[in-house]
Copies of this chain bind each other. A is one copy, B any other.
Amino acid sequence: MPQYQPYSQITQLLPVSRMNRYIQDGDNPDITEERKKATFDVDGFTEWYHGGAKRLQARREVEKYVEDHKELQDTRPTPFMSREELIDNSVRKVAGMAKYHEMIDMTNIEKTTYFIQMVHVRDGQAFSLHYLMFLPVLQSQASSEQLSKWMPRAVSGTIIGTYAQTEMGHGTNISKLETTATYDPKTEEFVLNTPTVSGAKWWPGSLGKFCNHAIVVANLWTNGKCEGPHPFIVQLRDMNTHKTLSNLKSGDIGPKLGINGSDNGYLLFDQFRIPRENMLMRHSKVLPDGTYVKPPHSKLAYGGMVFVRSMMVRDIANHLANAVTIATRYSCVRRQGELAPGAGEVKILDYQTQQYRIFPYMAKVIAFRIAGEELQVIFKEISKKLKKGEASQLPDIHALSSGLKALVTFEVQQGIEQCRLACGGHGYSHASGIPELLAFSCGSCTYEGDNLVLLLQVAKYLMKVVTSASPNTNGICGYLHKKSQSNVSTLSSHKTYSDHQIVQDFEHATRRVVLQAFNKLKTESSIYKSHEAWNRCSVELTKAARWHIRLYIVRILLLKVSQAPEDIRPVLRTLAKLYIFDLQVSNKGNFMENRYMTPQQIDELKSGVSGALATIRTDAVSIVDAFAIHEIELKSVLGRRDGNVYPALMEWTAHSHLNKKDVPDAFEKYLKPIMENIRAKM
Residues of B within 8 Å of A158, CB to CB, are 675, 678-679, 682
Q: How far is the CA of A336 from the CA of B200 in the complex (A)?
A: 16
Asked whether, in the complex, the Cβ of B535 is within 8 Å of the Cβ of A339, the reply is yes
- A92–B666 touching, CB < 8 Å: yes
Q: How far is the CB of A412 from chain B (nearest CB, A)?
A: 13
Partner of A98, one of B421, B529, B588, B674: B674
Of the residues B430, B613, B658, B669, contact of A251 by C-beta under 8 Å = B658
- Partner of A650 from B197, B244, B334 at Cβ < 8 Å: B197
Q: In the complex the two chains form, is A663's CB within 8 Å of B353's CB? A: no
Chain B's closest residue to A649 (CB) is: B168
Give the dominant DSSP class at A's interface: helix
Is there a chain B Cβ closer than 8 Å to A659's Cβ? yes
- B residues in contact with A169, CB < 8 Å: 334-335, 646
Q: Please tell me if the beta carbons of B266 and A653 are within 8 angstroms of each other in the complex.
A: yes
| A84, A171, A255, A669: most-surrounded residue (chain B CB, <10 A) | A255
Contacts of A210 in B (CB 8 A): 664, 666-667, 671
Which chain B positions have C-beta within 8 A of A429? 253-257
Closest to A542 in B: B353
A157 touches B678 (CB 8 A): yes
Contact mask for chain A residues 1-21; partner B; CB cutoff 8 A; 1 contact, 0 none: 000000100000000000000
CB-based contact B351/A538 at 8 Å: yes
Chain A 436-456, CB within 8 Å of chain B: the 1/0 string? 001100110111001110001
- List B contacts of A649 (CB < 8 A): 168, 197, 202, 253
Most interface-central of A202, A338, A451 (chain B CB within 10 A): A202
Chain B positions within 8 Å of A295 at CB level: none
Q: How far is A253 from B425 in the complex, measured between Cα atoms in Å?
A: 12
* B-side contacts of A595, CB under 8 Å: 595
The answer to whether the Cβ of A106 comes within 8 Å of any Cβ in the partner chain is no
A166 / chain B contacts, CB cutoff of 8 Å: 425
For the complex with contacts A87-B658, A589-B589, A593-B599, 19 further pairs of A-B residues with Cβ separation under 8 Å are A79-B255, A84-B658, A88-B665, A91-B667, A91-B670, A173-B338, A197-B649, A209-B664, A243-B663, A251-B656, A251-B659, A252-B653, A254-B655, A263-B664, A339-B535, A352-B535, A352-B537, A421-B451, A587-B589
A72 to chain B, nearest CB (A): 13
Contact A254 B531 (CB under 8 A): no
CB distance from A254 to the nearest CB of B (A): 5
